[in-house]
Structure 1
Amino acid sequence: MAGGRIPKHDFLVWVLARVRLHVPLECPLCSTNMESRQHLFFDCAFSSEVWSFFYSRLHLLPPSLLDDGIRWLKDPSRDSNIVFIVRLAFQACIYGIWRERNTRLHSQVSRPAAVVISEICLILRAKLDILSREQRNLPSTVTYLSNWSLHFV
């Protein structure tokens, strides 16, 4: 998957996994709980809506704890294309949630989860389109993009 990663998404997940993000006291996404990496990315109602969109369409139920979720990403499905999409979506969701959090903190502009989900879908579809073009030279007929279309279109 090394060539299929989106570098800024990959980097943010790396920073998150190493507990290096600096967070304010109150969650800027829901304003109801103290912000922690667990709350911000998984327990917050805003974040849950983002995750639910992607995982429900893939008929997956990942663990709700960050560290368990990262371990789960090693083998979330038997279909290698779905595994790739899940990993890419995980990184894109983390990035999208973090970006929305920062936008709210620094510009006081907030958007609904549906807008963030749409942005994530556009980013993922564009990346999967590029990678699927490379797959066309392989003997397999099922591409990343065809799997994406099956679940998300």
Structure 2
Amino acid sequence: MITLTVNGKTHQAESDPTTPLLYVLRDEMKLNGAKYGCGLGQCGSCTVLLEDKPVFSCQIPISVLEGRKVTTLEGLGTIDEPGRVQKAFIDEQAAQCGYCIAGMIMRSEGLLRRNAFPSDAEIRDWMQPNLCRCGTHSRILKAVRRAANAESGA
């Protein structure tokens, strides 16, 4: 059994140690924010934060997570009280089909934890590993800017 700390809570994972985190989140913990997209670490739909750094949960075996902090979309806020990045994505209507949005929000959160006021070029570069096929890229960029401004009180 592997002890995971997800969204500040301890969980005893019963899965094989080689099981990717994505499956434990969705199947054991019923945290469905991270999506299964490609299973190859190429789309970003499964992005979560590992020690505040965005990672593809489909590629991280749970065996390397003992004692490390994982944050999922559910750990950022609630429906009634969304986190700043979640709220910014809602306000900018950044989702079209919505499949990539959880990963985009998590990658954005990771950026803003690292750099509170990124430039547009930094945002674009940081978001590059996550794919959006619907084409809401300009709204996603606006949402990240809005979240950064919300943090500053601007």
TM-score normalised over the length of structure 1? 0.32
Please say which structure displays the higher CA radius of gyration.
1
Which is strand-richer, 1 or 2?
2
Q: Considering fraction of residues, name the structure with more helix.
A: 1
